[in-house]
Amino acid sequence: GRGAAPVKAPEVDPVAEAGKLASGAADLGALRDALAGYEHCPLKRGARNLVFADGVAGARVMLVGEAPGRDEDLQGKPFVGRAGQLLDRMLAAVGLSRAESVYITNVLPWRPPQNRDPKPDEIAMLLPFLHRHIALADPDLLVIMGNTSCQALLGRRGITRLRGTWVEAAERPALPMLHPAYLLRNPQAKREAWADMLSLKAKLRALE
């Protein structure tokens, strides 16, 4: 008889693996641990810290940003540095804060090298964790900041067109907004961001 065929290790599907880990997480602490133990994203190897979340879990407003930058990677928190400070001022202007009333995460928990845009396969494998994160935090509404976040949660890009119009994402009302980093580069767009913050405030009132 012929020799037995060599046994090949089964190919791991990173997205399926993420789905399994994410759905098994019963609470946010378990989800964080599941992400920390997920070995299929190459970004993890180059990042210093897992950037999971900041603010108040269970808050009515949940913000989803794009990916950690240098400051976020160093501190292990989303939206620190100049963009984070601008975000905090924008929230404060409508009576919100991460200390009391907002929960914040990113699509990607690890910093891409040189802050390059996340690749489609990186977004795809981390999406099950993001959806589980939203389900566990269970906000009344979502703010989707920037193109990568729109790509992940809405399946489309073009934030300058999408911003300001309420849509549905992860089974709840969602407002696409310009990312604070974009506003730092394009200060003339702050008027639009302000209109969106007022829209957010009005929606919160309407849902009370």
Q: What is the pLDDT of residue 7?
A: 72
Confidence class for position 4, pLDDT limits 50, 70, 90: low
Handedness of CA 93, 179, 84, 109 (dihedral sign): positive
**Cα(2)–Cα(36) distance, integer angstroms:** 45
pLDDT level of residue 173 (50, 70, 90 thresholds): very high
- Pick the closest to residue 164 from 197, 204, 206, 141 (CA basis): 197
Task: Give the residue from 101, 77, 69 showing the smallest Cα distance to 208.
Answer: 101
Query: Could you tell me the two tokens for 119?
Result: 């690749």
Average pLDDT over residues 31-52: 96
Residue 183 DSSP SS3: helix
Domains, the chain, ordered by start:
14-206 (3.40.470.10)
pLDDT tens digits along 122-143:
999 999 999 999 999 999 999 9
Rounded Cα gap, residues 110 and 161, in angstroms = 27
